[in-house]
Amino acid sequence: MLNQKDTVSETLFPHPFSGAYWRAAAAEMKNTRVLVFAALMIALRIIFKLVSIPIAADLRINFGFLVNAVGSMVFGPVVAIPAAAITDTLGYLIAPNGPYFFPFIFQEIAGSLLFALFFYRARITVRRVVLCRFSICFLVNLVLTTPIMMLYYDVFYGRYYAPIDMLRIVKNLALFPVESVMLTALLRAVIPAIRKAGLVRCDAEALRFTKSTVIALVVLVVLSTGLAAGYGIYSYNNTSLSAAYTASERLDANEKARALYLSHHPEEGNGDDLVVIVESAYPRFGSDEVTYACSVYRADVPALNQRETEGGVGLEGARGYSKSKARADSLLELLGTAEWVEKGSAGVVTYTENAAKK
């Protein structure tokens, strides 16, 4: 006859919002068999990282999520967190891909934690699998990853490469239903063996696609398509083209803006002491309009020339500045700002200025 402790250990929980659930999850940290299994899953996840398929810079397709799902189902959320951290760290040390960036560890942890919260000590159904995969694709791969990638590109490259964001959205949208079916098939195949080994308490009987689960999958695909489309339009309208400028592109844009400013101020002559910086360039979805904004500075040319002889940035270098660098340079005096709209072949259609506040 089972004592109370054994009864709790065999319990399946309808949700993770109970003290008994977290006590069971914490107890796995003392279970030698579970910890050995976790080590095996870490090794397999690292191997899958090595065989991922690159499709763009910092964007890959891999099937490590299958191993992650099985592992998290067995050892639960408490073990999942350190296992994910170890996987991320060892994965980078064994096969580094670009500069190390600590915040990426939160992506690994979040994915493992969600798998554990959906699958550990639960009655696993197709609907639960689909909802789990949708949650990870949306909350982790899109919502969490986007600001991390923005920070990564800003820290190491000084810009955010927006096309990567849209490619990641398309990838997750396209693979979500496929990955849901793959994960369902895998769990149905491995749960009986893992249950026989005494590592899980659930069974695979509910892992069958029915009419209602197919409908649920289609609804989530439609929902994710709508969310992706909405985000894509928002991102397109609110991501400045100037964020992706190379050094030469930034210089060209700044010089074009200076020429435009001078065309409205003939009294400035050649504008030899002017520095004009394009601060933003926002396109409009469904239109060929782009709204530009710039700041106009008067440069202390003698001081800039002196600084250049000492190995610093001179006048020409200042004309290739970004917004933040221009604002931080004490040898540039802000005169005001300008904004204009360019529309396809029509060129500049509106132009306005504001003097700097004294």
pLDDT tens sequence across 188-247: 999 999 999 889 988 888 898 888 888 888 888 888 778 777 877 777 787 788 877 888
Which helix (H) or strand (E) segment holds residue 352: the answer is: strand 347-355
State the pLDDT confidence band at 57, using cuts at 50, 70 and 90.
low
- Position 9 scores a pLDDT of 59
Which has the closest alpha carbon to 60: 116, 107, 106, 115?
A: 107
**Which class would CATH give 4-239?**
mainly alpha
The phi and psi torsions of 20 (rounded to 5 degrees) equal -60, -40
Where do the domains of the chain lie? 4-239, 243-355
Q: Which residues of 91-103 are buried (b: 16+ CB within 10 A; e: fewer)?
A: bbeeeeeeeeeee
- Position 159 scores a pLDDT of 62
State pTM to two decimals: 0.70
Cβ 288 vs Cβ 296: under 8 Å: no
Q: Tens digits of per-residue pLDDT, 153-195?
A: 778 776 655 555 667 777 777 778 888 999 999 999 999 999 9
